[in-house]
Structure 1
Amino acid sequence: MISGTALVAVLAAGAVVAPMVMNDDAAPAAAPTPTGTPFTVSAAPTLPPAPEVTYYDQVGPPAGSPLNPVEPLSINVAAATTGTALPDGLIGLSLEATDLADPSLSGDNPEMVESISGLGRPLLRFGGNAVDRRFFWTSADEAIPGNLSGDKAHPVRAVTPADLERVNTLLEAVDGQIALTVDLGNYDPARAADMTKYAAAAFGERLVGITVGNEPNGFAKTGLRDSGYGIEDYLTELKAYAAAMHAVAPEVPIVGPGTYEQTWWGPFAEVELPQKKILSFHHYPLSSCEGADPLGEPIMANLTTRHLHDHANNFRGKAMEPALTAGLETWIPETGVSACPGSNETTKTHASALWSADYALSAAQMGISRVSFHSSLITCQGGPPMSAICTGGGYLQPNGAVDERANYYGMSMVAEMPAGEFLKLDTAGGGLAYPYAVRHADGSVSVAVVNNNNPETDAPVDVTLELPGKALTGTMSQMTGTSYATQDGTLIDGAAAEGTPAAERLTVPGFEYGSSTQTFPLTAGTVTVLNFTF
């Protein structure tokens, strides 16, 4: 649902953005809480000789910085899981449904393959505003209906079975998965079922879900339905779509409702459908475009505060309540810093990379299994500035190159972490530092620290880390940036590329061989992933 023009670029979840701003201080209502389990870390009675290591050389703060002191950060990692997991394939890209017709989405496109591969085993989600307005599925070479309209930057596009086959070559090249959205704005369950049938055949097990309509809670406001359209009308239509889709592909889950309005989540969780359901919602936390909510305005001061971190958790906690009660998996198939049109203080910045990493990790720790950041295939020049990727060339004249923006690197830092179970933490201090710990299948433990302190003015934070066992190795990878506002300056391990492979990473500075206590500094404005073996 991103749009872009030569003057402004729109990144929006719907025509009405105000309802997406959630700054309610009320805590989420009680819901079943995931429960973890304790574990033990075995250690050899005698330590083998310490290996020779090369220490990681962190980028320090800029010369002459005032270096405001930051309270030391203590992290105590318990030998117990939380009951939630960092899943394989957490990170994804959300694209417009019409992008399915874009020939650049192909396994034969090395630029696209390389870019998408930097997001692990990603989920490509197709939906956005386009699906109900300027998208037409046909398996019979039909003419595009005259009631659909677009513009030069966002043309009406027909999508065919051949397009799905081409997109599948990209999924195979990156070992990714796909989620689709069918058109509900132009009511046609039979056409949706036809698309579902062909999609199931083209993608097989890589097709992990289909959503019916994009943000149907906004249909009455955008003219796709009359003014009285509400949740009950949606559920009636959803049941008709679900029945038709189940008849041709019973194994494909329905993902929904895909709305930003809370009142729709519970009814979807409770409705009976013949196929598996996955609860989904959209979230753009800084979408008070005109500043009616000062804390929800897309400005740097809001993006870099603990308030945003805490209130994002609050909003998502409210969505998790009906999902947990109903025993449903939960996705955020569409998110970003803001749904406001055009550029603002936060777009394309290093601060957006820090936010993206923290948003994804905190979502997974809550139990959310998919987080897709809304993006665009429009050119970087004139295209949506909030997009994680964009294409090279003049405006609307792509030259085949695929470029990555700062937020992409925050996503990549999380995507490259192996799957595992989150561990319980006791933490204190650290200013705006947010730690997470994950235990992997091989028994190693990763500790990720999103250090959101100001890279221009704040001193490195001194970390004391208590691990659940005596570490024999400790390596790290780090994302850096010289300031919150820097654009095109976000790096991972010193390069504008995905991080160093795990086996080649350097050792944490000051690593204490055979000790469960590790102390080290972390530069402000960084995302650091540390991995320890025992």
Structure 2
Amino acid sequence: MRWKFLALLLLLSAGSQGCQKEAASPAPPVPPAPVALPALPAAQGAPLTLALHPGQPGRPLPANFAGLSFEMGAITNPAYFNAANPVFANLINGLGPGLLRIGGNSVDRTAWSGQARRATTPADSITTTDVDRFAAFVQQLSMPVLFGVNLAARDIPRATAEIRYVSQALGPRLVGCEVGNEPNDYHSNGIRTASYTPGDYVADFNAYYAAIHPLLPGLAFSGPATDLSGNWASTFAAGTAGKINLLTTHFYEAGPASNPSITIATLIGLPARDAAMSTTTSALAQAANLPYRVAETNSIYGGGKAGVSNTLAAGLWGARLMWQLAAHNAAGVNFHGGGNGAYTPIALVNGQFVARPLYYGMLLFKAGSQGRYEPVDLSITALNVQAFASLGADGSQTVTVFNFESATPVSLTVAAGQAVSAVAMQRLTGAGLDATDGITLGGQAVAADGTFSPASTSYGASGSSFVVNVPAASAVVFTCK
């Protein structure tokens, strides 16, 4: 009987422990109730319609589309491309993995010394000290480098020695080489006589290529680094077939900066001109079976015009130009700048690097160019309003709308072409088209350390149609899912 009693005790004990364990098990967590998104604001402004076409995506938008261009002379300034300038590096990196071009007019006004910089070194010399300092800075960047060499002097051995040293210093960060800058203007710059032709430039380029390419066979070449005047680009593409990897052109909206008739209205009122330039360049590149990049561009040539090139209007213009080029299959665009010039995207002011309105325009394009280009149809209007879109891999659509009107808000009825449950948006705003500071994207300004943390506001939606308001003198980028 004793063993039966012990067995009963063990059985009761086990049952008691099982009950205790079951009682101690926590109740499953109750999932939080979904937060209801606020409704989109009611329509306010001139009514327009915008139709999206998610079923007709175009080519992928390159991640390295946004780039910067600087004068060769900038690398001789220790205050500029220096590893001790993290704010400058942060600002460049904030634009993404684009392309950093070093060239401009000063590429033909500087000379490679092949030696370290000394107190007696001429200011127009490019030294090993300069390249080493530049290389250390570049290691902090996500952007690779397109580096130019002097053609004006026709000193092929010196140019070859320079690009070899640059290649050793930068390593894989160097991805391309340009020969000279804007040879179509050599006659007016006193570099060549008026008889200098596109064919002459092709001969010069081919001579440089013959010397450099065997020594650096992995280095890509690009050109002609001219505008679209005459037949410079087409002649160059034909005469260098098989030698170049990228067709590069230059474009400025207007100029010179000293022209008193150039105003904000001049800058923002020419979308058809931008589209025509994009169409022409795309056709040239397609005929040559090459990708193309507008490797130097900005608003007003000659350094830009204060009150025009350094305004919110210029930021909106720059973003629209990027979209015009993206719509015509460009590989990318490089905005020229440097120092404290009116048109520079990143300015050096009293020893501090700061973001100008054009920089915010580049951030706006970055926010809106996700995935593949998507065509849109905006209702016909006399208002200066344009729209562009991209289609993400997850099916989301990101739309950028520009309202260049100084006093007329618009209200867009968007037909998304697919069901939408939420819309998240960021706005590029300022006090007006002529604002030179106080610019924000998504309510945020670029931080003093050069970083930018975008914020967006989300709204609920249902069905495939919704309304988005775009105030005067602003742009909005919104993603609908």
TM superposition shift of 1:198:
2.9
CA distance in 1, matches of 2:311, 2:134: 30
| 8 A Cα contact 2:430 2:438, kept in partner | yes
CA distance in 2, matches of 1:324, 1:172: 34
Summarize the Cα distance change of 1:470–1:174 in structure 2 as closer, same or farther, 3 Å threshold: farther
Summarize the Cα distance change of 1:165–1:363 in structure 2 as closer, same or farther, 3 Å threshold: same
Unaligned segments of structure 1, at least 5 residues: 1-48, 61-66, 149-154, 394-398
- Is 2:472 the counterpart of 1:524? yes
Residue aligned with 1:180, SS: strand
Counterpart in 2 of 1:189? 156
Aligned equivalent of 1:414, options 360, 365, 369 = 365
Percentage of identical aligned residues = 26
| 8 A Cα contact 2:250 2:294, kept in partner | yes
One-letter amino acid of the counterpart of residue 137, structure 1: W
- Is 2:167 the counterpart of 1:200? yes
Superposed CA offset, 1:343-382 (max 9, x none):
3541311111110110111111111112111111x3x3xx
TM superposition shift of 1:505:
2.4
Residue aligned with 2:444, SS: coil
CA distance in 2, matches of 1:473, 1:285: 38
One-letter amino acid of the counterpart of residue 452, structure 1: F
One-letter amino acid of the counterpart of residue 348, structure 2: T
| 8 A Cα contact 1:356 1:407, kept in partner | yes
CA distance in 2, matches of 1:435, 1:349: 21
Superposed CA offset, 1:371-398 (max 9, x none):
111111x3x3xxx2121222122xxxxx
Give the TM-score normalised by the residue count of structure 2: 0.84
Q: Which structure carries more relative contact order (alpha carbon 8 Å, separation 6+)? A: 1
| 8 A Cα contact 2:308 2:434, kept in partner | yes
CA distance in 2, matches of 1:216, 1:159: 24
CA distance in 2, matches of 1:207, 1:468: 43
- Is 2:365 the counterpart of 1:389? no
- Is 2:169 the counterpart of 1:215? no
| Matched ranges for 1:337-348 at <5 A | 337-340=299-302, 343-348=305-310
Summarize the Cα distance change of 1:441–1:287 in structure 2 as closer, same or farther, 3 Å threshold: same
Superposed CA offset, 1:58-85 (max 9, x none):
9x9xxxxxx9x63x22111113345344
Mark the structure with the bigger radius of gyration. 2
- Is 2:19 the counterpart of 1:52? no
One-letter amino acid of the counterpart of residue 494, structure 1: G
Residue aligned with 2:212, SS: helix
Aligned equivalent of 1:319, options 258, 277, 281 = 281
Summarize the Cα distance change of 1:229–1:81 in structure 2 as closer, same or farther, 3 Å threshold: same
Summarize the Cα distance change of 1:322–1:520 in structure 2 as closer, same or farther, 3 Å threshold: closer
One-letter amino acid of the counterpart of residue 521, structure 1: N
CA distance in 2, matches of 1:346, 1:407: 11
| Matched ranges for 1:10-29 at <5 A | none
| 8 A Cα contact 1:75 1:426, kept in partner | yes
The runs of 4+ residues in structure 1 deviating greater than 6 Å are: 55-58, 142-146
CA distance in 2, matches of 1:461, 1:268: 45
Summarize the Cα distance change of 1:211–1:448 in structure 2 as closer, same or farther, 3 Å threshold: same
| Matched ranges for 1:476-495 at <5 A | 476-495=425-444
CA distance in 1, matches of 2:204, 2:243: 15
One-letter amino acid of the counterpart of residue 366, structure 1: H
| 8 A Cα contact 2:295 2:335, kept in partner | yes
Summarize the Cα distance change of 1:102–1:485 in structure 2 as closer, same or farther, 3 Å threshold: same
Counterpart in 2 of 1:396? none
Counterpart in 2 of 1:283? 251
One-letter amino acid of the counterpart of residue 87, structure 2: E
Summarize the Cα distance change of 1:341–1:263 in structure 2 as closer, same or farther, 3 Å threshold: same
Aligned equivalent of 2:413, options 464, 469, 473 = 464
Superposed CA offset, 1:413-432 (max 9, x none):
11344542111222214622
CA distance in 2, matches of 1:172, 1:469: 44
Residue aligned with 1:266, SS: helix
CA distance in 1, matches of 2:358, 2:117: 39
- Is 2:140 the counterpart of 1:173? yes
CA distance in 2, matches of 1:408, 1:506: 22
CA distance in 2, matches of 1:54, 1:196: 57
| 8 A Cα contact 1:479 1:492, kept in partner | yes
| 8 A Cα contact 1:80 1:424, kept in partner | no
TM superposition shift of 1:56:
8.6
Residue aligned with 1:336, SS: strand
| 8 A Cα contact 1:493 1:500, kept in partner | no
Summarize the Cα distance change of 1:158–1:172 in structure 2 as closer, same or farther, 3 Å threshold: closer
Superposed CA offset, 1:34-65 (max 9, x none):
xxxxxxxxxxxxxxx9653367999x9xxxxx
Unaligned segments of structure 2, at least 5 residues: 1-32
Summarize the Cα distance change of 1:86–1:501 in structure 2 as closer, same or farther, 3 Å threshold: farther
CA distance in 1, matches of 2:142, 2:39: 33
| Matched ranges for 1:49-198 at <5 A | 51-53=35-37, 70=46, 72-81=47-56, 83-103=58-78, 104-133=80-109, 135-141=110-116, 155-160=123-128, 162-198=129-165
Residue aligned with 2:217, SS: coil
Summarize the Cα distance change of 1:406–1:57 in structure 2 as closer, same or farther, 3 Å threshold: farther
| 8 A Cα contact 2:50 2:412, kept in partner | yes
Question: Pairwise CA RMSD of aligned residues?
Answer: 2.9
Q: Report the count of equivalent residues.
A: 443
Aligned equivalent of 1:372, options 328, 334, 340 = 334
Aligned equivalent of 2:194, options 197, 206, 227 = 227
